Every structure is written in C-alpha cells, then in structure tokens.
Amino acid sequence: MIGQLTGILLEKEPPMLLVDVNGVGYEVEAPMSTFYQLPPAGEKVTLHTHLIVREDAQYLCGFASQSERHLFRSLIRVNSVGAKLALGILSGISADEFVRCVQEKDTAALTRLPGVGKKTAERLIIEMRDRLKELAMQFPTTPTLAETAVGDVTSNHAAQDAISALVSLGYKPQEASRLLQSIDTSDKDSESIIRAALKAAATT
C-alpha cells in the first residue's frame, strides 16, 4: 500500500497530477479540494494517498490532508459509491457542508453533485450518519469555495480544460458547458473556473 508521496509536482491538470519521486513519475488522481491547496508546478508537494487495485488497473488517489483521505475512505465504504464518485463528492462540496447535509437529511443539496441521484443521496445520509462525530472532529473548519461572477463563456484554453475536468468528475459535457455559461471565465485559470463552476452547481 502506498500511503504517502513526497516529491516535485511536475504537472497538475484536473483531476490528474504528476509527481516526481526520486526520478519516478507517479500519476495521481485528486479531488478539487486538494487542487485548491497545491503549490505551483516545480515545487515540493506531499500527498496522502490511497491505492485502488482492480483486476484491470491500479491507480492512486491523492489528498492534501489525512482528513480528506479519511472522508474519502468513509465514502467508498458506502454501498454503490466507488472511488470516482467519492472524488466527485469531495470536489463538489466542502467536508463541513457534507456533514451538514447528512445531519439535516438534505438530499436536495447532495443530488446537485455529479453522479449522485436521489437513491444514492438517501444511502449516503443513512450510512454516513454513524460516522458524523468522527468526521466532525476531522473537519473542524473547512475553507469555503470562491464566490462566482456572472458573464459569458469564452473560448480560451482554460475554459476548455475546465470542461474536460468537470466531465472527468462525473458531469455530462452539456452540464459542464451549462455551468460555465453562468460564470465569467475571462482572465481565470482552469482551477479558478472549476472552483466557480462547482460553486454554481451547489447553489442551483
């Protein structure tokens, strides 16, 4: 089991990272909650990782903190919630807001997340309730997502990268394009656009 990576961050194209550890490049899939905390490419980074092993593939999921990884591991224990869906949940909602949704049985908020339908939202609420105290201790405070601006979608490269990342997180291409139509993408990098799009998705 690979539990942690420390090395040089070579590339970061949501949702994928490339980390050079003593000459070996590790591809790591990470939620946007981790991307928001990453240093610029070329600097040292430490990621807490979870190794997914399947018959046809092996891949690493990386997190900025042990708390994020703890929530991820709790989520993938929920029936019918796989790694991709768990990463999408972490990308689309803050940990403290997720805890609130479970406590208040807010299925409407959960179903705004990519890949989460009503049945899955209800299952998350039922199966995660017993872990709330532990999760609340793990996440005493969580930064909120950036406020969004209103404007038209531009054809810049960052916007296209953002759409690709949103699709990788579980949104359909038309849903990703619609989200970008509600925000101002000018003069923003892809991470800022994704952050604003996810904030818009959580409030619509």
What whole-number percentage of the chain has pLDDT above 90? Answer: 36
- Residue 172's CATH number: 1.10.8.10
- Residue 99's CATH number: 1.10.150.20
15 and 42 in a single domain? The answer is: yes
- Residue 59's CATH number: 2.40.50.140
Question: In terms of residue numbers, what domain contains 47?
Answer: 4-63
46 within domain boundaries: yes
152 within domain boundaries: no
Q: In 57-94, where does DSSP find H-type helix?
A: 66-75, 83-92
Q: What gap in Å lies between CA 179 and CA 87, rounded to an integer?
A: 19
> Do β-strands 24-29 and 58-63 pair in parallel, antiparallel, or remain unpaired?
parallel
pLDDT in tens, 73-129: 999 999 889 999 999 998 888 777 888 888 899 999 999 888 899 999 999 999 888
Q: What are the φ/ψ torsions at residue 75 (nearest 5 degrees)?
A: -65, -40
75 and 128 in a single domain? The answer is: yes
Contact 173, 180 (CB under 8 A): no
58 and 89 in a single domain? The answer is: no
59 within domain boundaries: yes
98 within domain boundaries: yes
- For 104, counting Cβ atoms within 10 Å of its Cβ (0-12 exposed, 13-18 middle, 19+ buried), the class is exposed
Omega before residue 15 within 30° of 0, cis: yes
pTM for the full predicted model: 0.68
Q: What are the φ/ψ torsions at residue 29 (nearest 5 degrees)?
A: -95, 130
